[in-house]
Chains A and B, each alone.
Chain A
Amino acid sequence: MLNKMKPHEKFFNEMTSEGGPRSPYGIYDAWFAGQNNERLAQKAAEAEAFFRRSGITFNVYGQADAEERLIPFDLVPRILAEREWTKLAKGIEQRVIAINAFLHDIYNRQEILRAGVIPTKLIAQNDAFLPQMIDFSPPSDVYTHIVGTDVVRTGEDDFFVLEDNARTPSGVSYMLENRETMLQMFPELFSMIKVQPVSDYPKNLRRSLEASAPASCEGRPCVVVLTPGIHNSAYYEHSFLADQMGVELVEGHDLRVVDGHIAMRTTKGYKVIDVIYRRVDDEYLDPLTFNPNSMLGVPGIMDVYRAGNITIANAPGTGVADDKAIYSYMPDIVKFYTGEKPILKNVQTFRCGEADSLKYVLDNLADLVVKEVHGSGGYGMLVGPAATKKEIAAFAEKLKARPANYIAQPTLALSTVPIFTESGLAPRHVDLRPFALMSSKGVNITPGGLTRVALEEGSLVVNSSQGGGTKDTWVLED
């Protein structure tokens, strides 16, 4: 997708300000000046070969026979100072706690609807709302065991949350592999610069999942990762996480209900499991409850779940908290459940279902980004500044036909971090997805996350399915 900003527009460059390198990049900048491009190009080629050999590849949706693809890795790290990170992490923690409280409320007493903070129809008409979850509390009242919060930056102190991914956020394996790759390629950098480690993530994930086991579980809980299978685009990540945690990677057909519990088929018979980290969408989880044609789930798992004999992470029905219509209410949601002012800003969002907003959006389509409420992955959206008149006119018709299906946001001037090219450093737009873990023991956020970068000059679309790459993300130790 072409999605160019006008070249004269100014973007916040995270590495370089007018007076030289910004302070988090000071040592790196000096190191980089001493490198030669040929050696770095050689390193980049080695990194690519390593990713391909390891099978860190993905399949693009709708291209079953296409070759496996690599997500391009850029060797220039994205560096955040500890104080920048601390604020971000606090803001994410606050948001994660509010989202979890919101889910518990929505599926139980619905105080927030009674208080009139958000309109009932946003919940009632939401496909991601699961009636099967009503009047039920999951073990430890935790719904969102893993959250990936997409954050963008537009200035020195301007961070915005773009999206809360509360279903089954992916990308954490890239956070870990990118760091491993950097350690292999440039060990000297890590002795010069103190970078907070990310390698504890799998251990913390396992601990967090174990802490969320059903109350009835005795002994060390048995945790598994549930994958749709080797043809899923994120399969590598599923097997990587299972491997790193030291737990089994299962598919639906490995599991069944045995005596009111979920059990996996081993070479020695069926073995009871306690916690499922599922990477299968809600609608495929249980053919008896949801999509009857699903081959990916476990028939009867929802009954076992409601009987309190299995933990499903994340809980079914969390999608009601992360669609883009709910997003626009997030500042109110944070205030309602935490009593605090939101630490992180939301992007201004027009709900096209409201008449005034729709009129404004239709009049200003050329300057706005319009997204489907339930869309993801950068599909089905209009980027006004990059669209032709014809595309805008066509999109206006879709918008008028189903206004409530869309929200619109101003085009953000996303910050840039340089990438390495044959002719040296070149600024490209980035976003950031940190990963938060939640259990009864609290919220744990790994310092860093996945930085996605739009590799094409001027592009604002960072999605890997549309030409995005990734970078290692460093949070410095002060």
Chain B
Amino acid sequence: MRVKILKGFILGTIVLLCFLGVLERLGLSVDLVARLLFALVLVCILFAGARARSLHTLNIFVDGYRMTPLPNGMAMAIIAIGAVGYSYWPGDVYARQLNGLIMPLGVIGGLALMAALFTPHLRREGILTPIEFLLQRFNSKLLVLFVSLISIIVVLLLILAQISIFSDLARRYTTVPPESALLVVLVATVLPLVLGGMRAASWLQMTMAVLAALGFLLPLAWLAFDLTGLPLPHLNAGSALEATKLLQEDAILRGFATSADTSWLEQLSANRLSAGLSLLGIAIGISALPPLLARTQTTRSAKESDVSMGWAIVILLGFVVTMPLYAVFMRLHLTELLTGLNVNSMSDSAGFLFEIKSGLKLCGSVIATPQDAIDACGSGHRLIVSDLDIPAASFIAIFPALAAGVGAAMPETISAMLACGALAAMIAILSACIITLAHILAFDLYAKLLTRSAPMNRIVFFVRVSVGPIIMAIYWLITDPLFDPFRLPPQTMMALALALTAGGLFPVYVMGFWMRSLGWFSAIVASLAGSGLTLYLAALLNGLVKGGVLHKGMIVLPLLGDVLPLAVAGLAGAGLGLGVGILFGVLTPNRKPKAQTAKEQTAKA
């Protein structure tokens, strides 16, 4: 049923896009096109809300255990990618070349790890939330409280990271103030969740995954069609890379460039040990991420839960194969545009670079005006492509502007579809995070810790009501200037969330599933040690704590950028947590199973 509806939705969206493209050619204003696409997203949200409205407990918590593998895999993939992955990862590949692939590969590895360690076993338990499993397994309210708090922090970090990309989108495509637009999006995301809980989140994530996929593929297909007449970018990317290389070799012959500029997207420049540890850290973080664990519960059986993980990896594989093509085509067009260009005449042929205003660097300095560019490079300087540094965050702004000036200009419908996809990815992960938060607050904390006798209809009521305060809190965290000093770049927040998951949650779930002889005390110690070390390392890396241990140590400082060290901090936290937990388990053996066995023996007798 769902697959049929999804097929119809995909077909309808494509027809609508073609219709909008034709209208744009006939003179429809760009602003109206953007508004219509935004309306498309809102219609999807309303459809999800109307389709999924339900009062049934299982629908509110686990979508009635009804998700089939493919839609569940789509939902998992869009949660794993998120708005940050959609908007940053292609730019990251452009900026940091193969090092930019570490994060997406870690995510794929994390899904595989989750499938191997947790997925079917968690689904087999037939519980409503992952934390309920911990309560059943360890029978400790203290542990549940601690794990719930870590999960809440992780989910809030994820939400803040995703939302921080929204202001750029809102500024480029609407005239509405970003705060108002954010409030509209938050309310629109939450409305279906109030009506249908996890069931509505499933529908939202499925439809948004389709929009995000179309938005990601269409611009590339257009560029490939423009270049070669075939809308298959994967087939053309090899020749685009070779053309880029030829242009750069020509620049060497003409004396603009050096031989170092010709090698691009060829080797990892990261330290191998640190890159491997970072991959592992990211994967461990993803494998215990609360919104993804909650999503594994919605399938019809443990086996289908496994199959849906397979689908999620297939979809992510498609994304990872496509993602570098953006970097390849951007590199080709920027090479064509900039090689040999006199910096004094940059405003004539590459004026769009000054309009973007998102931290572009030329010759090592941030540029905002043509005069900045002349000051940075010197008057009369002949440019090469490697003079221009594009931060990963600028991809979503620079790609449409670049594509609009190449060949047959890309229709605004298609370039706006890229932004529409980013918005869809944001709404999908927001819905997953908000419903996870609501479940933790209403079920794990209220129903399981505060009162054991709450009737189910009251818990469901609390789930539906709690999303209101949640979005108010999110809006407050985003807009209040009080939190400005604590705001981190989105990728750093994502990495911090993954590191905290790896350090604080992964050891507990591993002990819960695979070390049945260990008790609740070991689990708490493991989680405390893991999350404590992770937070200490994170604070050290961000300069909040002064300490020289790691500065002289082996693993943290030689790493790349500001994202990956946090992943290694998570890995260190996970390792310490597991080690300390096992040690405590050995020193203080759990006596509960023995007591239960005796009870069972009495019962049998």
Chain A complexes with chain B: no
The residues of A with any CB-CB pair to B shorter than 8 Å are none
Interface residues of B (CB under 8 A from A): none
